[in-house]
Amino acid sequence: MPVHHPDFVPDPSLSRDEMESQQRAIARHAVFTDDLWFDPALLGDPIARATADASSGPDKDADSANRDDGTAPLVAGVDQSFLLDQDRALSAIVVLRSAGTGWDVVEQVHAVTPLEIPYIPGLLSFREGGAILAAVEELSVEPDLYLFDGSGRIHFRQAGIATHIGVTLDAPSIGVAKNLLCGDPVDSTEGLAAGERVAIGANADVEGPAKLGTDEGDAGSAGDPDWPTIGYAVQSKQYDSPNRHVNPLLVSPGHRVSAATAADIVLAFAAGYKLPEPTRLADAYADEVKAEYR
């Protein structure tokens, strides 16, 4: 997939101030509303998918789960790992396509690149982005949507790794994180049942439009009606037992996807595990490749 914004390719040689400035520019380019050619609701509805497959043809509406050639959208899961003894980053990508009541693996690729900066909260994309873009170059197919192991808009400058790479590629993207980087839930996230979600609002740690360089207003707070929801705590799985508990995922739009649709899609890919299938399979593939390097 071609790089749409080469000026946003992660450059680990930048100073911290320069990296943060670039993230603000990325946030200004990011689109946190739906810009998808397919209906995301069909990703997790096998009956609807089957109906769409059966009705696909030369006169079908473009706003469906199928391409013009009758195939379903390609959804890529991206996961990062590390070869610490070799001081290198490993990025794994698994591309899925809906088929019947499940998903088929269309392609899986990986890339390994040097680790050039240490871990700095909020600057993860500059540490891992090079490996991700190198893995994207290995793909023979062009995904219609990317799910990243990391944050999107739930980020200090609204430009987590899903937003950074999504804008760089100009591809729809979603961030699926395990920990809350910033922002506040508008309600308790304790004891959520599978399928439930709680909105995440901005707090003082999130730079608002005024700081980012737009005229849409300044930073808000959780529950502020003038500040849009920046993501959701999504309960993808829960045990039916008081002694076992699964924490929710922190899902946020990366680029060309709304917060609500991002949550819908992650739940659509829930298959009995905490992680949605694209990133779960990418995580498993990363472990498989990592073992080969050992």
By mean pLDDT, which of 215-219, 223-227, 267-271 is the weakest?
215-219
* Mean pLDDT computed over 223-231: 73
Domain boundaries, the chain: 6-37+73-177+253-293
Binding positions for Mg(2+) are 79, 149
* Mean pLDDT computed over 261-281: 94
Binding positions are 79, 149
Tell me the C-alpha distance between 20 and 9, whole Å: 14
* Mean pLDDT computed over 242-267: 93
255 band by pLDDT with thresholds 50, 70 and 90: very high
141 band by pLDDT with thresholds 50, 70 and 90: very high
pLDDT for the residue numbered 45: 52
* Mean pLDDT computed over 245-270: 95
Inter-residue contact 217 to 210 (CB < 8 Å):
yes
101 band by pLDDT with thresholds 50, 70 and 90: confident
Inter-residue contact 143 to 74 (CB < 8 Å):
yes
6-37+73-177+253-293 folds as: archaeoglobus fulgidus dsm 4304 fold (3.30.2170)
Q: Which one is predicted more confidently, 256 or 238? A: 256
* Mean pLDDT computed over 153-163: 97
* Mean of pLDDT over the chain: 86
Tell me the C-alpha distance between 22 and 291, whole Å: 35
Q: Which one is predicted more confidently, 180 or 294? A: 180
* Mean pLDDT computed over 100-106: 86
pLDDT for the residue numbered 40: 83
Give the pLDDT confidence of 176-221 residue by residue, as tens digits. Answer: 999 999 999 999 999 898 999 999 999 999 998 766 766 554 545 5
3-state SS string for the chain: CCCCCHHHCCCCCCCHHHHHHHHHHHHHHCCCCCCCCCCHHHHHCHHHHHHHHHHCCCCCCCCCCCCCCCCCCEEEEEEEEEEHHHCEEEEEEEEEEEECCEEEEEEEEEEEEECCCCCCCCCHHHHHHHHHHHHHHHCCCCCCEEEEECCCCCCCCCCCHHHHHHHHHCCCEEEEECCCCCCEECCCCCCCCCCCEEEEECCCCCCCHHHHCCCCCCCCCCCCCCCCCCEEEECCCCCCCCCCCCCCEEEEEEECCCHHHHHHHHHHCCCCCCCCHHHHHHHHHHHHHHHHHC
pLDDT for the residue numbered 69: 53
pLDDT for the residue numbered 215: 53
Whole-structure pTM value: 0.89
Work out the percent of the chain whose per-residue pLDDT is above 70: 84
Residue where the block lists tokens 């899925």: 96
88 band by pLDDT with thresholds 50, 70 and 90: very high
pLDDT for 42 beyond 80: no
